[in-house]
Chain A
Amino acid sequence: MDKPELTSRLKAIITTYAQETDALAHLTEETDFIKDLKINSANLVDIVLDVEEEFGIEIDNDSMSRMLTVGAAIEIIEAKLAANDRE
């Protein structure tokens, strides 16, 4: 899966929970889920659960705690997908 496809599938998930439509429209890798998109910690968990289902990966506690920006999320998803491919 290339990065644009991954990003667009991630954005579809985020759209369900984001409170700030402006920040959502101008999504970058620096976009912060909590500060910019005004997503609360409970909905951040739902995003991670949706990401697991959408990409067929498992997010551990350590990855969850690092998943604060769109860029960090993309990096973690890419790493998990690559690890799945190696298995």
Chain B
Amino acid sequence: MNKADILAHLPYSKPFLFVDDLQEIDENGVKGSYTFDAGLDFYKGHFKDNPVTPGVILTETMAQIGLVCLGIYLSGTAEGGMPGHVMLTSTAIDFMKPVFPGEKVTVVAEKVYFRFKKLNCNVQMLNEAGDVVCKGTIAGMVTNKMNA
């Protein structure tokens, strides 16, 4: 599977697609980027008159690039494999810096293990200055069904 195949296989669309581009992907990890559109609806309420990207959205962005793209790649490149869906099962994230509307972030994920259909990754998000804005562990199950 190449990068375009993976992006085409993502089950998200606007306003909940948080992947613009993949720079690197192989069996051990993935690197991708996303620019937060300042017009995203949640900025109106988080926070009032003071927009900051919510931690859950940063987590979702890390999951879409670091877990879902890698899970699709790993399941799609396995022998006789079909690119699967990835169901999020756990997250443990620390947040270091705020991400403001319009900022571009890069997500780097390293596979810890992919066994018995469970993918566990160490994931970091960096801002354009190269500072780590958040990092942690994200895991999910690669399934054939969208909502098992």
Q: Give the distance in Å from the alpha carbon of A43 to the alpha carbon of B118 in the complex.
A: 9
Q: Give the distance in Å from the alpha carbon of A45 to the alpha carbon of B139 in the complex.
A: 11
Do A48 and B116 have beta carbons less than 8 Å apart? yes
Q: How far is the CB of A62 from chain B (nearest CB, A)?
A: 11
Interface residues in A31-48 by Cβ distance below 8 A to B read: 40-43, 45-46, 48
Do B113 and A42 have beta carbons less than 8 Å apart? no
Asked whether A82 is an interface residue with its Cβ less than 8 Å from the other chain, the reply is: no
Q: Give the distance in Å from the alpha carbon of A41 to the alpha carbon of B141 in the complex.
A: 8
Do B89 and A61 have beta carbons less than 8 Å apart? no
Q: Of A40, A41, A49, which contacts B115 at CB under 8 A? A: A49
Q: Give the distance in Å from the alpha carbon of A42 to the alpha carbon of B127 in the complex.
A: 31
Q: How far is the CB of A39 from chain B (nearest CB, A)?
A: 11
Q: How far is the CB of B102 from chain A (nearest CB, A)?
A: 35
Do B115 and A45 have beta carbons less than 8 Å apart? yes
Which residues of B lie under 8 Å from residue A48 when comparing CB positions?
A: 116
Residue-wise interface mask of A (38-77) relative to B, using a CB-CB cutoff of 8 A (1 in contact, 0 not): 0011110110110000000000010010000000000000
Closest A residue to B89 using CB positions? A42
Q: Give the distance in Å from the alpha carbon of A45 to the alpha carbon of B118 in the complex.
A: 7
Q: Give the distance in Å from the alpha carbon of A43 to the alpha carbon of B120 in the complex.
A: 11
Q: Give the distance in Å from the alpha carbon of A41 to the alpha carbon of B142 in the complex.
A: 11
Do B113 and A40 have beta carbons less than 8 Å apart? no
Interface residues in B105-134 by Cβ distance below 8 A to A read: 113, 115-118
Closest B residue to A41 using CB positions? B141
Closest A residue to B143 using CB positions? A41
Q: Which 8 A-B pairs have the closest CB atoms?
A: A42-B89, A45-B118, A45-B116, A64-B116, A42-B118, A42-B141, A41-B141, A42-B139
Given contacts A42-B90, A42-B139, A49-B115, 7 further A-B contacts (CB under 8 A): A41-B118, A42-B89, A42-B141, A45-B115, A45-B117, A45-B141, A64-B116
Q: How far is the CB of A59 from chain B (nearest CB, A)?
A: 8
Q: Give the distance in Å from the alpha carbon of A46 to the alpha carbon of B117 in the complex.
A: 11
